[in-house]
Amino acid sequence: MDRIEHSVIDSLLQALQSRGYVTIGPTARNGAIVCDEIHSASDLPIGITDEQSPATYRLKSGNNHLSFGYVLSPVSWKRFLVPPVLTLFKAVKTSDGFRITNETSAPDTPPQPRKLAFIGVRPCDLQALTLLDKVFLGDRYTDPYYKAQREQLFLIVVNCTKAGGTCFCGSMGTGPTAKAGYDIALTEMDRKEGAFFLIDSGSEKGAEVMRELDRRKAAPEEILAADEASVRTRASMGRTLETDHLKEILADNPEHPRWDVVAGRCLTCANCTMVCPTCFCSTVEDVTDLTGKNVERVRKWDSCFTMDFSYIHGGSVRATPKSRYRQWVTHKLSSWVDQYGDFGCVGCGRCITWCPVGIDITEEACAIRENHQTVLPHP
Amino acid sequence: MKQKRKPKLAVWKFASCDGCQLSLLDCEDQLLDVTAEVDIANFPEASRAVAKGPYDLSLVEGSITTPHDAERIHQVRRSSKFLVTIGACATAGGIQALRNFKDVKSFTSLVYASPSYLEVLAKSTPIADHVFVDFQLRGCPINKLQLLEVVNAFLNGRKPNIPGYSVCMECKRKGIICGLVSHGPPCLGPVTQAGCDALCPSYHRGCFGCYGPKETPNTASISEWWMKQGMSDGELLRLFRGFNAYAEAFRKESEAHEE
Ligand code: SF4
Ligand code: SF4
Ligand code: SF4
Ligand code: SF4
């Protein structure tokens, strides 16, 4: 574990840029902290923080020493790996069928992967990438676009030293400190005389960049202070979720009266799935031109909250809001475990903050747990 | 090779502002492609030439507000193979349906010197209240790209890609930061059908509900939430009483806030 001064962030960005990476990081824009291209450390949201609660997000002025003093951006990293709208291929009609035209020629369809360095990935979002890897890099089916882009990433985690009002990574075991899967991990530490970073590498790629930076060995008390900050952060999560036997409880209680209560509030607007860093569903639309000779297949983010999502011959299988809300929660916290061996929720809290009526997944799961009809094994 | 007969397209106007049919003229880049594929047989905004029916595809703009129009729409239906309504007027009664909430005579007597010459119906109603409609294209005005998609789907014998989900889906795909959550209400996006590509939220404005209620709209829940945030019945009534005031879900919601 090493220590770098705050000013070294610019050298870090330059080191990445000189290796051909586009540096993507947090920046304040239109009343929120978004993830977009940043050129230097001055683009970071210095002295800005965010307050989050169900259906409410506000930027506030914060600690002037900190560049990463906010909690979590509404924009998750998935849009860089799973673009919201992606043209998969173009084709022309021929006398005996059709011919795909863009395999090598059209440069933008689908877009070519870029070398991207993500600066300021939070530990929960890092785990979300691991979950997306299981979906898109599975042994049987691989998404070639995801794979190509994933291989071009440089991941810089910034550990959390402050939890937000809707965070519950502590319950999901994904934060507030990242354990593995990054190239470089930073922890921003505030001191009266200004902030500094603890820095560690998690890969050879990361170590190679780190060697270029002006750094010194971290003092034992600095490492201790970071550990303490992690403990403090874990203890101050805005939300908690009891995960013990949660998978079974949700699976076994499809008719729990609470589903009706929440269905009465849910707008089926799909915001929760759109902001969720692990929701991966998409639909494809085949689009013809007016002549019918040229066609494109376009993939778009979809959600289990839409009627079309479960449309099969004759209608939608999940016609009621109740069945759609239940699909979302049971997938995230129950059937995902059967599919991928882990919960599909990393506890980032985005679905709570960005739900227009403040529906809280932790509160709903907790309500199902009360008076549930599951026979639990004795401890 | 035998030349295939081009399908005949007709545009019809009822009580409306013409904005929707102008969207067709607004398709500048694609207009020549459209005319290459269809015969525009009746389109008063573009040409006075009228070719006789029957028509393969009729685009109907406007709502039914007079006894004469209530007759005429049946003729249009009889002469059309496919009938598609375009815009909030044809699909929900339009902004003129605001009069449905009052006695129409209280307006005509204010506006016209001799209202006794007017033959108007008590309500402004959507086309589907009068005849069978094959497809309804929403919006005030409609999105020209969606119009092209409908014409295109019709020409190619496929289902149009016109989703019934919320404006929020378009907002999020575009990466727009939700103003409802980050600044405060109101934004009708969560109960409004997509189609405008989140036009107003893209310019930091709340959605006005131009595309009408989305599939399974839960207007009661969002109103209840907003009342907890301090919105009044009057504000909610005016919010839902816009271009789609007479669409069922919005109508019921505004009526629930009548004092
Ligand atoms: S379900 Fe909610 S809290 Fe969990 S990962 Fe998705 S957005 Fe975050
Ligand atoms: S919760 Fe819904 S949108 Fe998200 S991954 Fe599961 S089915 Fe897809
Ligand atoms: S839970 Fe909230 S964000 Fe999700 S669909 Fe329902 S109302 Fe929309
Ligand atoms: S700004 Fe409006 S339309 Fe966009 S996501 Fe928020 S509530 Fe939905």
Q: Which residues of B touch A301 (CB under 8 A)?
A: 169, 172-173
Q: Does the pLDDT value for residue A24 go beyond 80?
A: yes
Q: How far apart are CA B146 and CA B38, in angstroms?
A: 17
- pLDDT for A378 equals 58
* B171 CB within 6 A, ligand 4: yes
Nearest C-alpha of chain B: how many angstroms from A356? 7
Does the beta-carbon distance from B169 to A32 stay under 8 Å?
A: no
Three-state SS annotation for chain B: CCCCCCCEEEEEECECCCHHHHHHHCCHHHHHHHHHHCEEEECCCCCCCCCCCCEEEEEEECEECCHHHHHHHHHHHHCEEEEEEEHHHHHHCCHHHHHHHCCCHHHHHHHCCCHHHCCCCCCCECHHHCCCCCEEECCCCCCHHHHHHHHHHHHCCCCCCCCCCEHHHHHHHHCCCCHHHHCCCCCCHHHEECCCCCHHHHCCCCCCCCCCECCCCCHHHHHHHHHHCCCCHHHHHHHHCCCCCCCHHHHHHHHHCCC
Q: How far apart are CA B70 and CA B129, in angstroms?
A: 10
Q: pTM for this one?
A: 0.95
- pLDDT for A103 equals 58
- pLDDT for B156 equals 86
Percent of chain A whose predicted confidence (pLDDT) is above 90:
85
Residues whose beta carbon lies within 6 Å of some atom of ligand 3? A 266-272, 305, 355-357, 359
Does the beta-carbon distance from B169 to A358 stay under 8 Å?
A: no
Mutation for A interface: B165, B219, B231, most A CBs within 10 A: B165
- pLDDT for A222 equals 96
Which residues from B are below 8 Å from A when comparing CB atoms? Answer: 30, 33-34, 36-37, 148-149, 151-153, 155-156, 158, 161, 163-166, 168-169, 172-175, 177-183, 187, 189-191, 204, 214-218, 221-222, 225
3-class state of residue A116 by DSSP = strand
Does the beta-carbon distance from A356 to B152 stay under 8 Å?
A: no
* B187 CB within 6 A, ligand 4: yes
Q: In what order do the strands lie in the sheet with A85-94?
A: A97-100, A85-94, A294-301, A282-288
Q: Give the model confidence (pLDDT) of B71-114 as tens digits.
A: 999 999 999 999 999 999 999 999 999 999 999 988 888 888 88
In this prediction, residues A294-300 reach a mean pLDDT of 92
Nearest CA in chain A to B181: A56
CB count in 10 Å sphere of residue B156: 18
In this prediction, residues A234-262 reach a mean pLDDT of 96
Q: How far is the CA of B193 from the centre of ligand 4 (A)?
A: 12
List the domain boundaries for chain A: 2-84+111-235, 246-292+301-370
Percent of chain A whose predicted confidence (pLDDT) is above 70:
97
- Of the candidates B168, B179, B217, the beta carbon closest to that of A270 is on B168
Contact A308, B163 (CB under 8 A): yes
Percent of chain B whose predicted confidence (pLDDT) is above 70:
99
Percent of chain B whose predicted confidence (pLDDT) is above 90:
77
Q: How confident is the model at residue A105 (pLDDT cuts 50, 70, 90)?
A: very low
Q: Where are the beta strands (DSSP E) in A172-281?
A: 184-189, 196-201, 216-217
Nearest CA in chain A to B150: A290
Q: Give the model confidence (pLDDT) of A127-183 as tens digits.
A: 999 999 999 998 788 999 999 999 999 999 999 999 999 999 999 999 999 999 999
Transcribe A328-352 into DSSP letters: HHHIIIIIHHHHHSS-S-----HHH
In this prediction, residues B56-62 reach a mean pLDDT of 96
Does the beta-carbon distance from B221 to A270 stay under 8 Å?
A: no
ipTM for this model = 0.94
In this prediction, residues A305-316 reach a mean pLDDT of 93
By DSSP bridging, strand A85-94 and strand A216-217 are: unpaired
Burial class from Cβ neighbours inside 10 Å (0-12, 13-18, 19+) for residue A1 reads middle
Q: Does the pLDDT value for residue A365 go beyond 70?
A: yes
Partners of residue B82 on adjacent β-strands: B57
Q: Which domains does chain B have, with CATH numbers?
A: 8-155 (3.40.50.700), 167-255 (no CATH)
Q: How far is the CA of A108 from the centre of ligand 2 (A)?
A: 28
Q: How confident is the model at residue A373 (pLDDT cuts 50, 70, 90)?
A: confident
Q: Which position has the higher pLDDT, A88 or B254?
A: B254
- pLDDT for A379 equals 53
- pLDDT for B1 equals 47
Q: Does the pLDDT value for residue A97 go beyond 80?
A: yes
> For all residues of chain A together, what is the average pLDDT?
94
Does the beta-carbon distance from A274 to B181 stay under 8 Å?
A: no
Does the beta-carbon distance from B169 to A270 stay under 8 Å?
A: yes
Q: Does the pLDDT value for residue B248 go beyond 50?
A: yes
Q: How far apart are CA B90 and CA B62, in angstroms?
A: 4
Does the beta-carbon distance from B36 to A290 stay under 8 Å?
A: yes
Contact B159, B153 (CB under 8 A): yes
Greatest Cα pair distance, chain B, in angstroms, is 69
- Of the candidates B172, B215, B221, the beta carbon closest to that of A357 is on B221
